[in-house]
Amino acid sequence: MIRRLLALLLAFSAVQPATASTAPGLNWLRSDHLAMTEARSQQRPVILYLEAVWCHWCHVMDASTYGDPEVRALIEQHFIALRIDQDLRPDLANRYRDYGWPATIILGADGSELRKRQGYVPRDEFLALLSGVLADPTPEPAGARPAPAVKTAAELSEATRQRLQRRHRETYDPAQGALRSAQKYLDRDQIEYALYLAEGGDADEEARARKTLDAARALLDPVWGGVYQYSTHGDWKHPHFEKLTRLQAEYIRVYALACLQLKAPGYCAHAQSIERYTQLFLLDPARGYMTSQDADLEPGKHSAGYFALDDAGRRRLGIPRVDRSVYAAENGLMIEALVALYEATSEPAYLVRARRTGEQMLQTRGLPAGGFRHGPEDVAGPFLADSMAMGRGMLALYRATGERDWLHRAAAAGSFIVSNFRSQPGFRSALRGSSSIVSDSGIDEVLAVARFLNVLARYSGDEAHLAAARHGLQWLSADALALSRSTESGILLLAAETASEPLHLTVLGAKADPLAQSLHQAALRIPAGFRRVEWWDSAEGPLLNHNIEYPQLRRAAAFVCTARTCSTPIHQPGQIAEFLDAVR
* pLDDT in 10s for each residue of the chain, 584 residues: 333 333 333 333 333 334 344 344 788 999 989 999 999 999 999 999 988 766 777 878 888 899 999 999 999 999 999 998 876 776 677 677 665 678 899 999 999 999 998 888 999 999 999 999 999 999 987 655 554 444 444 467 888 888 889 989 999 999 999 999 999 999 999 999 999 999 989 999 999 999 999 999 999 999 999 999 999 999 999 999 999 999 999 999 999 999 999 999 999 999 999 999 999 999 999 999 999 999 988 877 778 999 999 999 999 999 999 999 999 999 999 999 999 999 999 999 999 999 999 999 999 999 999 999 999 988 777 989 999 999 999 999 999 999 999 999 999 999 999 999 998 878 988 886 555 555 667 888 899 999 999 999 999 999 999 999 999 998 888 754 655 556 789 999 999 999 988 999 999 999 999 999 999 999 999 998 899 999 999 999 999 998 887 888 899 999 998 877 888 899 999 999 999 988 76
CATH 3.40.30.10 is the classification of domain 2-135: yes
CA distances 336 to 50, 229, 322, 354, 387, Å, are 39, 20, 22, 8, 13
Question: Which class in CATH covers the domain with range 172-297+323-364?
Answer: mainly alpha
The answer to whether 119 touches 60, Cβ cutoff 8 Å, is: no
Residues 254 and 258: their CA atoms lie apart, in Å, by 6
For 294-435, where are the E strands, in sequence order?
322-326
Predicted local confidence at residue 480, as pLDDT: 47
Predicted local confidence at residue 293, as pLDDT: 94
Predicted local confidence at residue 5, as pLDDT: 34
152 CB-contact burial (10 Å; exposed 0-12 / middle 13-18 / buried 19+): middle
Predicted local confidence at residue 14, as pLDDT: 33
CATH number of 366-499: 1.50.10.20
Same fold, 2-135 and 503-583: yes
Predicted local confidence at residue 71, as pLDDT: 95
Residues 252 and 268: their CA atoms lie apart, in Å, by 8
Instruction: Indicate the domain borders of the chain.
Output: 2-135, 172-297+323-364, 366-499, 503-583
User: What element of type H or E holds 284?
Assistant: strand 283-284
573-576 contacts at long range (C-beta below 8 A, 24 or more positions apart):
573/518, 573/519, 573/521, 573/522, 574/522, 576/505, 576/519, 576/522, 576/523, 576/526
Predicted local confidence at residue 3, as pLDDT: 36
What single letter denotes the amino acid at residue 314? R
Question: In this structure, which topology does domain 503-583 adopt according to CATH?
Answer: Glutaredoxin (3.40.30)
Where do the H-state alpha helices sit in 115-187? 123-135, 158-170
Residues 433 and 437: their CA atoms lie apart, in Å, by 9
Question: Hey, how many other C-beta atoms are within 10 angstroms of the C-beta on 285?
Answer: 10
- Nearest-Å Rg of the Cα atoms of the chain is 26
Predicted local confidence at residue 142, as pLDDT: 64
CA distances 320 to 191, 244, 266, 280, 471, Å, are 30, 13, 28, 13, 43
